[in-house]
């Protein structure tokens, strides 16, 4: 009986292939769609964690020019800076729990730099947004001149990147965040200041006038426990000039809102496509059943019971479904992995492949659903074939 199933399937490779392909699409829709959805969710979570801060303060000019919602998708806010006295003023605001500063600089598409890239200088002493993402690094703290790279930067730990004619060794790599931050490199404030000096010397950053030590791009604030974040935001916006404070959660909420919309669309699309394919599968099984009546009549005449005839149909559908499900799962992993940056760009949302546990869970669910959906789709034909009229082959001359 079992070998009969395999013989039947192998005996008509074209039709078996077509059925497997249909189930592959079922599983691809389910697993691929699920992967996209959970990648978006993982991206959002990561963005929230990455921000770590409740408030981000940046120069008003930067705030004007930057779409806040996409700030962190693109990486940095551009060449706008505030000076240390402003930072100190911000620091005097009541209710601040932690505060850290960052400096942004872009390398140039020129011979002085090995790659055009965003450089983010952070203060290792006070930092609470970058170092928690350290994935792989040498022991010890980040030394002057050393870089951490985002997960998508194509330079290995131990190699160097040349920035404004300064060769900077890569000391570590950050975990993926699914945002534009993945394509940036990170260094301490000393390093970025010497890089700015080097850039100024090359004439690349004519707008940096004055002391690089006085140049800050953004201030990140974590509110002390029990403090209303909005009070901090308002206080800074009222008392400190030329800067704008923004609640990071409003940024994330923007992303979360569009994520909700995209999720709904993807889910609806997934369900519709899935059902459509399932109906096609059902029709395909039914059509094949019509073709196979004589075969089943022969089995019946040879003494096979109705239950075993249906069993045969179900077993075939089960094998087809298993093969299709596995193919679909593998295919969706490959597709989502290789097109993740494309999807990220198209949706304008952070996109981060979920943990292997989530992937395994998704794969398992897709597998189970396909193993159910395939045989159920074949139920009509199983019924038809198990009740086949043996007169078909008994009477024919």
Partner 1 sequence: MDLKAQNISKRFYRKAGESNYFYAVRETDLELPSGALSVLMGRSGSGKTTLLSMLSGLLSPDTGTVTADGRDLYSMDDRKLSAFRAARISVMPQGRAVLDTLSAWENVFLNARIAGVRDESLVPRALELMERFGIPDLKEALPKELSGGELRRVMLCRSLLLSPEVLMCDEPTGDLDDQNTALVLDSLRDYAHQGHTVLLVTHEADAVSYADRLLQMDAGRISTPDPV
Ligand X SMILES: Nc1ncnc2c1ncn2[C@@H]1O[C@H](COP(=O)(O)OP(=O)(O)O)[C@@H](O)[C@H]1O
Give me 158's structure tokens. 């131990």
**Taking the complex as a whole, how short is the minimal distance between the CB of residue 136 and partner 1, in angstroms?**
54
| Contact pattern for ligand X over residues 354 through 393, marking x by CB under 6 A | -------------------------------------x--
Residue 145, sorted as left (phi over 0), alpha (psi -120 to 50) or beta, turns out to be: left
Sequence-ordered list of residues with C-beta below 8 angstroms from that of 363, at least 6 positions apart, any chain: 31, 329, 333
Q: Which of residues 323-352 bind ligand X (CB under 6 A)?
A: none
12 binds partner 1 (CB under 8 A): yes
| CB neighbour burial string for 208-242, b if at least 16 within 10 angstroms, e if fewer | beeebeebbbbbbbbbeeeeebeebbebbeeebee
Smaller CB separation from partner 1, 1 or 338: 1
2 binds ligand X (CB under 6 A): no
Strand, coil or helix: what is 134?
A: strand
How many angstroms separate the CA atoms of 82 and 194, rounded? 18
Sequence-ordered list of residues with C-beta below 8 angstroms from that of 336, at least 6 positions apart, any chain: 32, 35, 36, 39, 343, 353
391 binds partner 1 (CB under 8 A): yes
Q: Which stretch binds partner 1 (CB under 8 A): 33-41, 206-214, 236-244, 295-303?
A: 295-303
Interaction partner, residue 1 (ligand X, partner 1, none; CB < 5-8 Å by kind): partner 1
Interaction partner, residue 390 (ligand X, partner 1, none; CB < 5-8 Å by kind): partner 1
Smaller CB separation from ligand X, 226 or 397: 397
Strand blocks (E) in the chain: 55-59, 96-106, 118-122, 134-137, 147-149, 160-163, 166-174, 184-188, 218-223, 243-247
Interaction partner, residue 361 (partner 1, ligand X, none; CB < 5-8 Å by kind): none
395 binds ligand X (CB under 6 A): yes
How many angstroms separate the CA atoms of 179 and 219, rounded? 19
| Contact pattern for partner 1 over residues 239 through 278, marking x by CB under 8 A | ----------------------------------------
106 binds partner 1 (CB under 8 A): no
Give me 331's structure tokens. 């295919």
Residue nearest to ligand X (CB): 395
390 binds partner 1 (CB under 8 A): yes
How many angstroms separate the CA atoms of 362 and 374, rounded? 18
Smaller CB separation from ligand X, 357 or 391: 391
Q: What are phi and psi of 275, to 5 degrees?
A: -65, -40
Tell me the site size for partner 1, rule CB under 8 A: 29
Query: Which residues lie near ligand X (CB under 6 A)?
Result: 391, 395
Query: Which residues lie near partner 1 (CB under 8 A)?
Result: 1, 4, 7-8, 10-12, 294-295, 297-308, 390-397
């Amino acid at each position: 009986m079992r070998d009969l199933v395999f013989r039947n399937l192998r005996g008509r490779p074209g039709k078996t292939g077509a059925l497997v392909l249909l189930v592959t699409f079922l599983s691809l829709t389910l697993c691929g769609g699920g992967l996209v959805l959970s990648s978006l969710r993982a991206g959002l979570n990561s963005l929230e964690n990455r921000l770590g801060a409740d408030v981000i303060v940046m120069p008003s000019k930067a705030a004007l020019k930057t779409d806040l919602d996409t700030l962190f998708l693109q990486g940095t806010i551009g060449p706008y800076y505030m000076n240390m006295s402003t930072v100190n003023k911000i620091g005097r605001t009541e209710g601040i729990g932690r505060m850290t500063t960052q400096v942004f600089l872009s390398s140039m598409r020129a011979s002085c730099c090995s790659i055009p890239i965003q450089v983010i200088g952070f203060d290792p002493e006070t930092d609470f947004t970058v170092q928690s993402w350290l994935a792989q690094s040498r022991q010890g703290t980040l030394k002057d001149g050393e870089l951490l790279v985002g997960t998508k930067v194509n330079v290995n730990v131990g190699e160097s990147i040349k920035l404004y004619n300064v060769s900077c060794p890569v000391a570590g790599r950050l975990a993926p965040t699914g945002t534009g931050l993945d394509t940036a490199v990170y260094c301490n404030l000393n390093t970025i200041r010497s890089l700015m000096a080097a850039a100024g010397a090359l004439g690349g950053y004519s707008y940096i006038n004055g002391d690089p030590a006085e140049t800050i791009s953004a201030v990140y604030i974590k509110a002390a426990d029990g403090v209303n974040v909005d009070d901090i935001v308002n206080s800074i916006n009222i008392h400190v000039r030329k800067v704008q404070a923004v609640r990071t959660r409003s940024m994330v909420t923007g992303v979360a809102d569009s994520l909700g919309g995209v999720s709904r669309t993807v889910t609806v699309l997934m369900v519709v496509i899935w059902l459509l394919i399932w109906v096609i599968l059902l029709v395909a099984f039914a059509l094949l059943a019509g073709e196979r009546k004589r075969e089943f009549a022969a089995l019946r005449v040879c003494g096979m019971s109705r239950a075993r005839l249906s069993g045969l149909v179900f077993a075939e559908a089960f094998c087809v479904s298993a093969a299709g499900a596995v193919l679909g799962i593998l295919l969706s992993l490959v597709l989502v992995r290789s097109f993740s940056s494309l999807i990220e760009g198209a949706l304008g949302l952070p996109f981060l492949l979920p943990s292997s546990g989530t992937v395994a869970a998704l794969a398992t669910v897709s597998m189970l659903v396909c193993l159910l959906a395939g045989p159920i789709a074949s139920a009509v034909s199983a019924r038809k074939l198990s009740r086949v009229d043996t007169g078909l082959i008994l009477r024919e001359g």
